A and B are shown apart, each in its own frame.
Chain A
Amino acid sequence: MKIKSVNDFVIKFANVNGSGSASANQMFAKGVFRSGIPVSPKNIFPSNIQGLPTWFEVRVNEKGYLGRREGIDLFVAMNPQSYQKDVEELKAGGYLIYDSSWKRDFGREDINILEIPLTKLCVQEFTNPKQRLLFKNLGYVGLLASILEMDKDIYISLIEEQFKGKEKLIEPNVKALNIGYNYAEENFKDYCDIKVNKSNKTDGLILTSGNDAAGLGCVYGGATVCAWYPITPSTSLAESYSKYSEKMRVEIGTEKNKFAFIQAEDELAAMGMTIGANWNGARAFTATSGPGVSLMSEFIGLAYFAEVPTVLFNVQRGGPSTGMPTRTQQSDILCSAYASHGDTKHILLIPSDPKECFDFAVEAFDLADRLQTPVIVLLDLDLGMNDWSTKEFEWDDNNQYDRGKVLSKEDLDGIEKFGRYLDVDGDGIPYRTYPGTHPEKGAYFTRGTSHDEYAGYTEDGVKNAEMLTRLVKKFQTASSLVPSPVFNQEKNTSSMGIIYFGSTDCSMQEALDVLDEQNINIDAMRIRAFPFNLEVWEFIEDHDLLFIVEQNRDGQMRTLIMAEGGIIPDKLVSILCFDGQPITAEHITNKINAHISGKPALVAS
Chain B
Amino acid sequence: MTYIVKPKNHHPLLEKNELGLTRRDYEGAVSTLCAGCGHDSISSAIVEACFQLSIESYKVAKLSGIGCSSKAPAYFLNQSHGFNSVHGRMPSIATGAAMANHELLYLGISGDGDSASIGIGQFIHCARRQLNMTYIVENNGTYGLTKGQFSATNDLESKSKYGDDNLFPSIDLPSMAIQLGASFVARSFSGDKEQLVPLLKAALSHKGFSFLDIISPCVTFNNHNTSTKSYDYIREHNDALSRPDFVPSGKEILTDYPKGSTVDVPLHDGSLLSLEKISENYDPADKIKAIQNIQESQRDGKVLTGLLYADPEAKDLKEILNVSDKPLNEMDLNDLCPGSEKLKDINSGLK
Contact = CB atoms under 8 A, between A and B. Distances in A.
A binds B: yes
Given A443-B81, A445-B82, A276 B93 contact: yes
Q: Name the interface size band of chain A.
A: 35 or more
B9 interface: no
B260 interface: no
Given A400-B333, A436-B103, A457-B3, 18 more contacts: A207-B351, A219-B338, A224-B99, A249-B336, A262-B321, A268-B89, A269-B121, A269-B125, A271-B92, A275-B93, A276-B99, A276-B100, A279-B96, A279-B100, A393-B346, A438-B58, A445-B82, A447-B84
A396 B73 CA distance: 45
B92 A436 contact: no
A327 to B, nearest CB: 25
A266 B120 CA distance: 12
Interface stretch (B146-154, B248-256, B324-332): B324-332
B117 interface: no
B99 A262 contact: yes
Contacts of A259: 323, 328
Given A272-B95, A280-B100, A281-B329, A435 B81 contact: yes
Interface in A431-458: 433-440, 443-449, 456-457
A256 interface: yes
Contacts of B61: 280, 435-436
6 contacts: A216-B346, A255-B322, A260-B99, A284-B96, A394-B343, A447-B84
Contact of A277 (B2, B86, B100, B321): B100
Contact of A449 (B63, B79, B84, B336): B84
Given A225-B100, A260-B328, A396-B340, A401 B58 contact: no
A208 interface: yes
Nearest to B90: A272
Given A224-B328, A268-B92, A276 B83 contact: yes
A261 B57 CA distance: 29
Contacts, number: 230
B224 to A, nearest CB: 30
Contact of B96 (A254, A274, A397): A274
B351 A256 contact: no
Interface in A77-118: none
B316 to A, nearest CB: 12
Contacts of B343: 220, 393-395
A288 interface: no
A136 interface: no
Interface string B1-21: 111000000000000000000
B347 A392 contact: yes
Interface in B286-345: 321-326, 328-329, 331-333, 335-340, 342-343
A545 interface: no
Interface of B: 1-3, 56-59, 61, 63, 73-74, 78-86, 89, 91-101, 103-104, 121-122, 124-125, 129, 321-326, 328-329, 331-333, 335-340, 342-343, 346-347, 350-351
Contacts of B340: 394-397
Contacts of A396: 340
Nearest to A270: B92
Given A272-B89, A435-B61, A444-B81, A280 B351 contact: no
A89 to B, nearest CB: 30
A553 to B, nearest CB: 32
A444 B62 CA distance: 11
8 tightest A-B CB contacts, nearest first? A272-B92, A276-B96, A282-B100, A281-B329, A435-B81, A277-B96, A273-B96, A280-B100
Contacts of A456: 3
Contacts of A436: 58-59, 61, 81, 101, 103-104
Given A257-B323, A280-B101, A443-B81, A298 B96 contact: no
Interface in A199-258: 202, 205-208, 216, 219-220, 222, 224-225, 227, 244, 248-249, 251, 254-258
B343 to A, nearest CB: 5
Contact of A34 (B3, B80, B122, B351): B351
A107 to B, nearest CB: 42
A83 B257 CA distance: 84
Contacts of A393: 343, 346-347
A447 B85 CA distance: 6
Given A206-B350, A260-B321, A282 B121 contact: no
A436 B100 CA distance: 12
A264 interface: yes
B324 A258 contact: yes
Contacts of B98: 276
A281 B101 contact: yes
B83 A277 contact: no
A544 interface: no
Contacts of A282: 96, 99-101, 328-329
Contacts of A248: 338, 342
A265 B104 contact: no
A60 to B, nearest CB: 16
Contacts of A438: 58
A225 B58 contact: no
Contact of A265 (B94, B97, B100, B122): B122
A443 B321 contact: no
B333 A222 contact: yes
Nearest to B74: A445
Contacts of B121: 265-266, 269
A304 interface: no
A265 B324 contact: no
A276 B97 contact: yes
A393 to B, nearest CB: 5
B338 A278 contact: no
A547 interface: no
Most chain A beta carbons < 10 A, residue from B56, B125, B324: B324
